[in-house]
Amino acid sequence: MKFGHFDDDRKEYVITTPKTPLPWINYLGSSEFFGLFSNTAGGYDFYKDAKLLRLTRYRYNNSPVDNSGRYYYIKDGDTIWNPGWQPVQTELDSYECRHGLGYSVITGAKNGIKAELTAFVPVHDPCEVNRLVITNEGSTERKLELFSYVEFCLWNAEDDSTNFQRNFSTGEVEVVGSTIYHKTEFRERRDHYAVYSVNVPVDGFDTSRDEFVGLYNGARNPQAVTEGHCHNSIAHGWALVGAHQINLTLAPGQSRTFIFVLGYCQCPRDKKFVSPGVINKEPADALLSRYQTPEQAEAALEELKEYWEGLLSTYNVDTPDQKLNRLVNIWNQYQCMVTFNMSRSASYFESGMGRGMGFRDSCQDLLGFVHLIPERARERIIDIANTQFSDGSTYHQYQPLTKKGNAAIGGGFNDDPLWLIAGTAAYLRETGDYSILDEDCAFDSDFSIARPLLDHLDLSFNFTASHLGPHGLPLIGRADWNDCLNLNCFSEEPGESFQTTGPSEGPVAESVFIGGMFVKYGNEYADILRHIGKDERAGQVEEAVALMKHTLETAGWDGDWFIRAFDAYSKPVGSHECEEGQIYIEPQGMCVMAGVGVESGKAEKALDSVKERLDTKYGIVLLNPAYTRYHVELGEISSYPPGYKENAGIFCHNNPWIACAETVLGHGARAFEVFKKTCPVYLEDISEIHRTEPYVYCQMVAGKDAPTFGEGKNSWLTGTAAWTFTTISQYILGIKPQLDGLMIDPCIPSDLKGYTLVRRFRGVNYHITVDNSAGAEKGVKQITVDGSPISGQIITPVTDRSDVTVSVVMG
C-alpha cells in the first residue's frame, strides 16, 4: 500500500495523506541551523546542537504522535483547520506534502480556501523560513483569522524537559510589532536569543502558552483560536510560545502571502543590551530584513535548490532501473548529507539529548559523504581526531557544539580507533590531499600535546595491535561495532547501562569482527604509508595484518562461517557450539570484504552460510537463532525480544557488508539481490508493513522471529546510508576512488547490459559508459579514456581538463 509517490523530476516525495503509518519527516538545513519537519508540520528547530541550542519543543512518545511543530490555524467562521491537518485534525478537502531536498511544501484546502506552506532553511542564514500562501478559490469574499504558533524550548532540551522548578520561573520575552524575541537566560550567561516574526502587521499576539492554549486545553483546541483573538500576553516564567494573529479578507481568486521567520541571533558579549533589560536587536533586524517579501523568500528557496543540484551533480547514474536511479542520484546521497550533519543525534527516534556525534558513526558517515563536500569531510576528520586519547583509544561520542568527548559514556569501544583510519583513507582516496596527515590534532581536546594526524592513525593501528586476547584476536572492550554485544559488562540491575557497567576492557573477550577490520583498514593504512614513502612502517603494518588474517582463518573459523567473538570465559559466540546465536552477519561481511578466506574458499562458505542461515525476504538478519532469554554474559543483545534490533533483527547497516563481500567474490547478481532487499525505494508498495519513509533507509527492520516481520524503525540517521551508497557506487557500479586514481571495477547482475554515469573526481567530471553486452557479472575487458585505451583498471587523475570520456567494456 502506498501513501504517496516519487516525483523524480522535482526530486520530491509526494505524500497524499496526513495519516502515514508513522510521521514521515524531512530535514531542513545544510550547515548549522536545522529543523525536523514532518508531513503534518511537526518537529523542531535547533542551532548546531540539538540538545544545547534547541529553539522549539517536540514531544516524543506522545499521544497523538508528532506533537508540537510549527502550526498555522485558519479560523473560517466556526471551522478551524490546519494546512497540515495537525493538530486540530479537521478533515481536509485536499492534502499534499512534498518533501524536497532541504525544503517541504504542505498544501491543504477546506471549504474553498487553500493554504500552501513552504518551509526551508536558507543556505546562509540561521533560521527557518515559512512561506504561507492563502488563496480564496471560491466565488465570494471570505473573512478569516490566521494564527501562527510555536512553543519555545528553554535552550537546553534535557534541562527544559526536567528542571521545572527552575524553568517555570526563568522564561522571558520581548515583543516589538510583529516580532517576538525569546530571551530566556540572555541577561546572564547566554549571548543568543531566538526571534519569531512575520512580515506584516499583526492584529494580536501571545507569548504565554496558558493564555494562547488555555490552561487545560491542548494545541488541538487552543483557547485563543476558538475565541477568535489573541490576548497580547507577555510571558513571565511558565511556558513560552510565539503566536501571531492576522485578520484577513480575501476577494474571490485573491491570494495573500505571509513570510514567517524563526531564527537564532547572537550578539557580542559587550553589546548585548541597548538599555537595561532591552536586548540588542540589530542581529535580528539584519536577519529579518532578508525575508520581508515573497520575492526574497523565493530567491532564497531557489538558491537552496541550486545548492542541492550542484551537490548531486557529483555522482549521477543512468540505468534501465528508474528506482535505482532515483535512489543513487537523489535520496541516498541526500540521506548521506543529512546523516553527516546530524550523526545519530536528532530524529523522530533520537531525541537529540543524548548521543551527540559518534566517533565510529561519524567516521563511517564520511564514506558516503566525502565526495559531496570534501572540505567539510576534512574538518570532520580533524574534529574526530582531536577527541582521541594518547594511547590510541577514543571517546565513543562528542558534542558537536563543544567538539569535546562525552565523559559520561567515555571510551572502551575497541573498534572505534580503526574507523579513524577508514574515514581518513576515504578522504585521501577522494582528494589526494596528503597535507591532512600533517595537521596537528589534540589528544582529549588538549592542544598542548597535539601531534600530526598521521601519528593518530598510527596510534589507532597500534592500539588494536597491542590489545589482543588469548586467541590473538583483538580485545572487544565494552563493545565493538555492535554496541549491544557487551561481553565484559555483566549488567544485572534494572536501569544499569549495558555498555558502561562492569570492568569495560576485560582481559579475555575478543572480537573476530575487529580482526576483520584490522585486516581491511590495516591494508588501507599500509597503502597510505607506501604512498608517502614510509615503506619500512608499511612493511611492519602488513606483517601484523598478515598474522591477523591467519588468526581469523584458524582461531576465528567455525567450519562453515566466521565466529563472532569469544566471551569473557573464552567461549565462542556465533558458533555451532552455541545453543542460540550460532551465526552472526558482521564477521562474514567484514572478513570477506577484507579478503580473508578468499583464496582458501572459506569466504565462499561463509557467504553461502549467510544465504542459508540468515537470509529472509526482507533482508539478512543479524544472527540466528534468536536469543530467547537474557544472557548476562552477552548483554543488551539478548535483552530484546526475538526478531527486534540486534537480536535477530534485520540491521540495515550491515546488510551492505554482505553485498560488498559478494562483489569481492564476483557475485554481481547476489550482491544486487542483497542490496535491494533493504532499499527503501523498492519497498514503497509495502509501506503499510515497512511503515518508515520509503525515500530513506531505516536502521532496523523486524526479523523473521518478530510478530511484525518487515516493520522498519529508526529511520534517517543510520550508518546504512553511507554504507549503501558506498556499496552501490563503488562495489556494484564499480567506480572506486583510489590513492592512484579512479578504479573501474563493476560487479553487476548479468542482465544489466550497461549504464552511464558522471562521477566528479578531484575536480574533473568523468563521463563513464559501461557496456555489458557480454552479460558478465564481473571483469573488465577494455577501458578507453578520451578514445585511448589504458592498461589496467585505474585511470590516472587528469589535471589539464575538466571533462573526461571513459568507455568500459565488461567481459
- The residues annotated as belonging to the active site are 483
Omega prior to 222 cis, within 30 of 0: no
Nearest to 590 by CA among 516, 674, 651: 516
Give the span between the Cα atoms of 801 and 718, in whole angstroms: 37
Question: Does residue 66 contact residue 38 with C-beta atoms inside 8 Å?
Answer: yes
Q: Which residues pair with 198 in a beta bridge?
A: 260
Of the candidates 401, 552, 413, 555, which has an alpha carbon nearest to the alpha carbon of residue 471? 555
Q: What are phi and psi of 23, to 5 degrees?
A: -60, 125
* Number of neighbouring beta carbons within 10 Å of residue 182: 27
Among candidate residues 121, 91, 80, the one with its CA nearest the CA of residue 18:
91
Reduce the DSSP state of residue 42 to 3 states and report it.
strand
User: Would you give the distance in Å from CA 376 to the centre of its chain?
Assistant: 15
Residue pair 797/761 in contact (Cβ under 8 Å)? The answer is yes
Neighbours of 631 (CB within 10 A): 16
The sign one gets for the Cα dihedral 212, 216, 222, 227 is: negative
Q: Are 353 and 51 in contact (CB under 8 A)?
A: yes
Phi, psi values for residue 802, rounded to 5°: -100, -15
Edge-to-edge order in the sheet of strand 741-744: 735-738, 741-744, 794-795
Q: Retrieve residue 228's grid coordinates.
A: 477568535
The values of phi and psi at residue 153, to 5°, are: -90, 145
Retrieve residue 341's grid coordinates: 550533519
Cα–Cα distance measured from residue 416 to residue 39, given in angstroms and rounded to the nearest whole number: 36
Residue 167 DSSP label: H
